[in-house]
Amino acid sequence: MGRTSGIPAVALAALLGVCGVTGLTGCASASGGRAVSVAATYAIPYNLTDVLFSREMILHYRQAITMARLVPGRSRDPFVRGLADRIVKEEGAQIDVLAGSLRTWEFSVPDSGNPPVHQMEGMLSPARLLLLKGRSGAEFDRLWLTTLARHTDYGVRLAEKAGAEGKDARTVRLARATATAQKALLAQIIQHLS
């Protein structure tokens, strides 16, 4: 397709469609700069859901890794130890992918040394982490798995929302794969607890 004044023709057609629906209010009197701004916004390949998913999953994965690093020296359960190893390896790699997306979109990556204060569901409070640190053996294993199950359930819901409402194709694929993987992990935890 051709281009008009530096705006892709498809974006211009979409802009004109929006102007037509609104009865040209604000569009007819808008300068060319505003039209470019609206068209440029239309062409952004991601949305807020993609950005929030990437940021929140980084925080989610980092806390799962923090939990996983509590396992050595506290657990003798092969399932718990294997799961902790898997979390450190797999979720660390996922953080790199999500951080790459944020950088591409020119958003900051949450600082691992000074994470933001957040009230995300399923995230452990400092008190809960302290409680885990003070346990060992079977008591630790049960508390750790129960806590991880709650944490993982939130990851499933976060990923399902991004898979359904995201705009960036790569992020949507990642979110759907994450939802599937987190559901499988949750099922394994529940089975082991029972």
CATH number for the domain including 72? 1.20.1260.10
Tokens of 193: 């607890």
Q: Which residue did the predictor score with more confidence, 168 or 116?
A: 168
Q: Is 75 exposed, middle or buried (0-12, 13-18, 19+ CB in 10 A)?
A: buried
β-pair type (7-8, 3-4): antiparallel
pLDDT score at 64 = 93
pLDDT score at 83 = 96
Shared domain check, 38 and 64: no
Shared domain check, 118 and 67: yes
Shared domain check, 11 and 89: no
SS3 61: helix
Shared domain check, 157 and 65: yes
| Tens-digit pLDDT profile for residues 27-85 | 433 444 444 455 555 678 899 999 999 999 999 999 999 999 999 999 999 999 999 99
Range of the domain at 105: 48-193
Which residues in the chain belong to E strands, given as ranges?
A: 3-4, 7-8
Shared domain check, 54 and 21: no
Q: What is the pTM of this model?
A: 0.74
| Tens-digit pLDDT profile for residues 82-112 | 999 999 999 989 999 999 999 999 999 988 7
